Amino acid sequence: MTENITRRGMLLVLSSPSGAGKSTLSRLLLEKDDNIALSVSMTTRTPRPGEIDGVDYNFVSTAEFENLVQQDGFLEHAKVFDNYYGTPAAPVVKAIQAGRDVLFDIDWQGTQQLTQKAAKDLVRVFILPPSSQELERRLKERAQDSAAVVARRMSKASEEISHWAEYDYIIVNDELEKSEQQLFSILQAERLKRVRQTGLVPFVHEIIGEE
């Protein structure tokens, strides 16, 4: 019965420099829990091999992107590595009203905008790599990116990390399994917050027999 108590969904933001393990952790969380879905961002960057339009991103032209900006259709948007990225608002609003949680893989700029717009519904998690050496190693391991791209991402990483203190939770991703558990615990605890359990008032009234 208790799982039927209506609740309001949350916006769970995961940020990190690339190479800290954020994509793997997102994937694991999405596999483990049916009530959270990934917000599919729009981007003007070209797809990498294996990326699927509509699944990894909605890949659009700059003109299409700018069009949605004009229509105020983004919850947040930012320029990252010369490309535009943004979160279309409509699917997110629909999901949280229906009591489903939404996972965001966005950078610090997007997180700041969401903090302005939706602080009450927001849970911000920052993933740190265990060391700079490990971060570099993981970036180099990604065969898909050229050496120049790796070098740029490494320098961008320190900029992203400098925003760590703007987040509610910090996970140092040393062991994947432990980090996955920590992320799952955050999700579980945040779901239990009184403010998210919007159906509690009628539920409690029924328990104590009030009209």
Residues making contact with ligand 5GP (CB under 6 A): 18, 41, 45, 76, 78, 80, 85-87, 105-107, 109-110
CB of 76 to ligand 5GP, least distance (A): 6
Question: Please, which residue, 76 or 180, has the CB nearer to ligand 5GP?
Answer: 76
CA atoms of 100 and 39, how far apart (whole Å): 12
Q: How far is the CB of 86 from ligand 5GP (least distance, A)?
A: 5
Q: Residue 131: which residues within 8 A CB-CB, separation 6 or more?
A: none
Shorter beta-carbon distance to ligand 5GP: residue 77 or 191: 77
* Cβ-defined contacts of 66-73 (< 8 Å, 24+): 68/42
Residue 76 or 101 having the CB closest to ligand 5GP? 76
Q: CA 73 from chain center: how many Å? A: 18
Q: How far is the CB of 5 from ligand 5GP (least distance, A)?
A: 31
Distance of alpha carbon 150 from alpha carbon 185, whole angstroms: 32
Residue, CB closest to ligand 5GP: 110
Nearer to ligand 5GP, 109 or 197 (CB): 109
Cβ 198 to ligand 5GP, closest distance in Å? Answer: 27
